[in-house]
């Protein structure tokens, strides 16, 4: 027997439906995350990476299925603003005391926008602005454990490691303790911390990514808060601590926006983010939400920050410096640390890809291990800004190259239908124009490392010109042009065959067949770097990239299922060799 439909309760039932689907999503999010410990203990690295990808797609799948259920329930009322106002108020009331209220708000926003295709932010019917600080929600028990000691550092580290109940034997446990004490004493001296006047607060949850589990904490002294991170590796002979990281540079790199998201079991996301922000104060909260897997809420936090910045500033969006791309129009707000990238309606030759293919490339990067070398991005659809915030040059560029993405609003605003927002960096070619020879050597070494590390995770960047790489605040080199990106194992790396006669040797055109996936590494020196001095540095540091052997060897390793080690901290910090580990 069909239940009667009470029309007055439809808004409440709809709010309850969305809330129920949010609960289901959050349960699945936690369930996938909790597998990480099991994967780590079993050394199931492929499974751990698959879980990371599954968790990313989980949100969009949940929002998609929820949207359809909402449309089915509402029927003709699906576009009625009065009905949605009541849905919004009912939902707001029901989540008022939730400890994951901020994540629940973002889930609602996503469902609302999916039921209203083409709509931008609606301040009356969405959680556009934060409804609280969210810091009022705290765990009943602290999310960290506190360790105090004045004299016995060996006891301190033994306690920390024994508290992490990993169901795997340790490799050379006492040697781990000995090395950690030595590294810790050196760090205390470097940071000028009195060993008698500090406490350690260590998060109870471990942070998992790829083949590593991280113990994350903070050292609180009278003078300051210092990060405290220990990466754990698990090899066939057991687990061990591979480093003790207390420098901002190392810890910031581990939590970089260019890396894949951690699998870490979190009950109250805002509480975890506040802890991380205490050791990484220069990182925006949006990036920290991203880092623990709540990338959609990270996008919400970023958007709220953008709105605040726009209201407090007066500069206008302008064309970003650097060589103009053939696929993307790139803009920047000078006072804001991000760039805005819009796919052009048509691409200049020799580019022959389509807009759909470019979007697919961004999707590959979103799901893939970015290994610290591919910039993360937020996708925005129907982003609406005041028309006066765009310079005349930007409007002219958009009208000429991406007019289909523009929408002029009656209230003096302009909507951009599809764009990516990324962290602002200095293009590598521009950085090198004013770099000293020492600075040039540092970033050129980084450039080569970036190419090699992307290769290690089965990514071939395609267009490896300097202009497609950026230099970050920490002088890391990161790739950001994805229209020609592809999987390394799909390419064929060849040597140029010897010419058979003088005619072939003098020919301006290739005298040999070139397939669509053929790559000739010995040609790289001709077009990657124009400056002979810079080219010589690159050849000295990374000359192996000019030979097919490097590329073919990496392909073989990837095809046999190897997950190549790429560490997000400096080699000089690693302890594996000092532990006497079986190599």
Active site residue ranges: 376
Residue 254's closest CA among 207, 301, 200, 296?
A: 207
CB proximity list for 265: less than 8 A, separation 6 or greater: 30, 33, 34, 36, 205
Residue 329's closest CA among 337, 339, 316, 338?
A: 339
Locate 226 and state its tokens. 């210092």
| Distance, CA of 336 to CA of 475 (rounded, Å) | 19
Helix, strand or coil, per DSSP, at residue 509: coil
CB proximity list for 41: less than 8 A, separation 6 or greater: 166, 167, 168, 234
Under the phi-then-psi rule, with left for phi > 0, alpha for psi from -120 to 50, and beta for the rest, what region is 160? alpha
Q: Yes or no: say if 361 and 483 are a contact pair by the CB < 8 Å rule.
A: yes
Number of other CB atoms surrounding residue 225 within 10 Å: 13
In eight-state DSSP terms, residue 245 is B
Rounded to whole angstroms, what are the CA distances from 238 to 169, 232, 396?
5, 10, 61
| Distance, CA of 355 to CA of 345 (rounded, Å) | 8
Angle between helices 81-94 and 10-42 (to 10 degrees): 50
Strands 207-209 and 212-221 come out as antiparallel
Whether cis (ω within 30° of 0) applies to the bond prior to 350 is yes
| Distance, CA of 302 to CA of 285 (rounded, Å) | 8
Where would I find the H helices in 404-501? 428-434, 437-456
| Distance, CA of 460 to CA of 489 (rounded, Å) | 9
| Distance, CA of 359 to CA of 432 (rounded, Å) | 30
Residue 468's closest CA among 430, 518, 509?
A: 430
According to DSSP, the residues that pair with 420 across neighbouring strands are 341, 379
């Amino acid at each position: 027997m069909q239940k009667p439909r009470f029309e007055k309760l439809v808004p409440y039932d709809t709010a309850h439906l969305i809330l129920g689907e949010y609960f289901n999503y959050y349960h699945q999010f936690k369930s996938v995350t909790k597998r990480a410990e099991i994967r780590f203990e079993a050394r199931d690295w492929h499974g751990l990476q698959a879980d990371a990808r599954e968790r990313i797609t989980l949100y969009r799948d949940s929002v998609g299925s929820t949207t359809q259920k909402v449309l089915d329930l509402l029927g003709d009322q699906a576009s009625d603003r009065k009905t949605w106002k009541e849905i919004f108020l009912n939902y707001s009331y029901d989540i008022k005391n939730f400890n994951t209220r901020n994540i629940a708000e973002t889930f609602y926003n996503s469902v609302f926008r999916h039921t209203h295709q083409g709509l931008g932010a609606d301040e009356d019917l969405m959680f556009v602005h934060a409804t609280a600080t969210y810091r009022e929600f705290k765990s009943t028990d602290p999310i960290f454990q506190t360790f105090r000691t004045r004299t016995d550092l060996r006891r301190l580290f033994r306690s920390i490691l024994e508290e992490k109940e990993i169901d795997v034997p340790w490799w050379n446990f006492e040697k781990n303790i000995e090395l950690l004490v030595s590294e810790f004493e050196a760090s205390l001296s470097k940071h000028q911390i009195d060993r008698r006047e500090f406490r350690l607060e260590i998060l109870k949850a471990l942070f998992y990514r790829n083949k590593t589990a991280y113990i994350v904490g903070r050292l609180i002294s009278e003078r300051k808060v210092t990060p405290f991170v220990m990466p754990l590796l698990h090899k066939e002979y057991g687990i061990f601590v591979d480093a003790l990281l207390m420098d901002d540079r190392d810890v910031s790199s581990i939590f970089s926006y260019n890396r894949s998201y951690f699998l870490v079991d979190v009950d109250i996301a805002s509480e975890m983010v506040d802890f991380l922000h205490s050791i990484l104060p220069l990182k925006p909260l949006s990036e920290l939400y991203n880092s623990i897997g709540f990338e959609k809420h990270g996008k919400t936090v970023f958007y709220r920050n953008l709105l605040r910045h726009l209201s407090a500033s007066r500069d206008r969006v302008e064309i970003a410096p650097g060589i103009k791309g053939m696929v993307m129009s790139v803009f920047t707000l000078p006072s804001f640390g991000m760039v805005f990238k819009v796919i052009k309606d048509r691409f200049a030759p020799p580019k022959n890809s389509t807009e759909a293919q470019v979007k697919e490339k961004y999707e590959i990067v979103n799901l893939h291990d970015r290994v610290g070398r591919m910039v993360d991005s937020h996708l925005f659809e129907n982003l609406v800004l005041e028309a006066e915030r765009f310079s005349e040059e930007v409007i002219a560029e958009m009208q000429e190259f991406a007019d289909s993405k523009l929408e002029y609003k009656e209230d003096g605003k302009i909507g951009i239908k599809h764009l990516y927002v990324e962290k602002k960096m200095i293009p590598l070619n521009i950085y090198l124009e004013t770099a000293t020879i020492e600075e040039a050597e540092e970033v050129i070494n980084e450039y080569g490392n970036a190419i090699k590390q992307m290769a290690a995770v089965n990514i071939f960047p395609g267009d490896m010109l300097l202009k497609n790489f950026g230099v970050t605040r920490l002088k890391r080199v990161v790739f950001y042009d994805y229209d020609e990106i592809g999987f390394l194992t799909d390419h064929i790396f060849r040597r140029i065959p010897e010419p058979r006669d003088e005619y072939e040797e003098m020919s301006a055109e290739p005298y040999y067949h070139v397939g669509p996936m053929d790559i000739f590494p010995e040609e790289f020196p001709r077009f990657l770097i124009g400056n002979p001095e810079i080219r010589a540095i690159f050849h000295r540091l990374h000359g192996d990239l000019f030979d097919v052997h490097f590329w073919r060897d990496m392909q073989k390793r990837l095809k046999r299922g190897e997950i190549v080690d790429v560490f997000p901290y400096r080699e000089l910090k690693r302890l594996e060799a000092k532990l006497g580990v079986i190599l």
